Amino acid sequence: MNNFNKEEYLKRINFEGEISINFESLKALHRAQHLAIPFENFDICLGRNIQIDSKSIFQKLVRQKRGGYCFELNGLLVMALKAFGFDARPLLGRVHLSREITGRTHQTTLVTIDNKSWIVDLGFGAEAPLIPIPLVYNEPISFENQSYRLVNDEVYGYILQSNSKGHWKNLYSFDLNPVFEIDIKLGNHYTSTHPDSFFTNARIAALPIENGMISLYHNKLKKTINGKEEITTLKDDSSYLDVLEQEFGIELDAEYGELKRLR
């Protein structure tokens, strides 16, 4: 944990106040990081390797003020929670947003306080839960415009579902088996390099805001505030980078032409 600086982290996520080993502090840290550090895959779009050792994650997300995807965002969260004394460890899951069975390529976080456990996830883009989810089957939990629950599946174990317009949708499944560094390296390598990976074929960003969400897919920027959506098509030029900085705080050290072309 030598690569983690508490003061720098708290400044990066705009967090003020005391931290105790309780649910309220867990929820506050989760919320603060979620609002401050965007979900994004632009290093992949630039053909760069995604380094997930603790030093690289802290350097990129905290000191360089960039965002990242699940292995980076939840990697940073686990580091932070452990540094502040929480019992936290990574889990790996399968994404269920399509009909195809996926590998364990999504990293989430299990946190336990006084024999109660929660799933805490900052790395699932615009659909990432805004609050910790109790590790209890069939107990829906709602926050703002989000509703989630965990259900049991005899094949996949726990499945996290979200409720949209009265319909429960599978997001990802996971089990509680130990996850080792090599497991995370394998998942990260596939997700960031394989030609079939969603992340090597799209430009993606998401950042929660008060009462809403800003998200980007390819060149479509969507703002959802108080349930109202506004969609803008971005130009295929350097103004794209200006939008990344203005809306998400993502400042790339690259020219627009260096990004992988949109299909």
Could you give the percent of the chain with pLDDT greater than 90? 89
Please count the other Cβ atoms lying within 10 Å of the Cβ belonging to residue 135.
Answer: 16
Is the pLDDT confidence value at 21 over 60? yes
The residue annotated as part of the active site, out of 45, 121, 153, 237, is 121
Is the pLDDT confidence value at 253 over 90? yes
C-alpha atoms less than 13 angstroms from C-alpha of 5 in its C-beta half-sphere: 10
SS3 75: helix
> Does the annotation count 121 as an active-site position?
yes
Measured CA angle at 183 (ends 180, 185), to 5 deg: 110
The residue annotated as part of the active site, out of 30, 45, 70, 96, is 70
Mean pLDDT over each residue of the chain, to the nearest integer: 95
Please count the other Cβ atoms lying within 10 Å of the Cβ belonging to residue 194.
Answer: 14
Task: List the structure tokens of 262.
Answer: 């949109």
Say whether domain 6-258 belongs to CATH 3.30.2140.20.
yes
pTM: 0.95
Is the pLDDT confidence value at 165 over 80? no
> Does the annotation count 106 as an active-site position?
yes
**pLDDT tens-place string over residues 119-140:** 999 999 999 999 999 999 999 9
The residue annotated as part of the active site, out of 30, 34, 96, 106, is 106
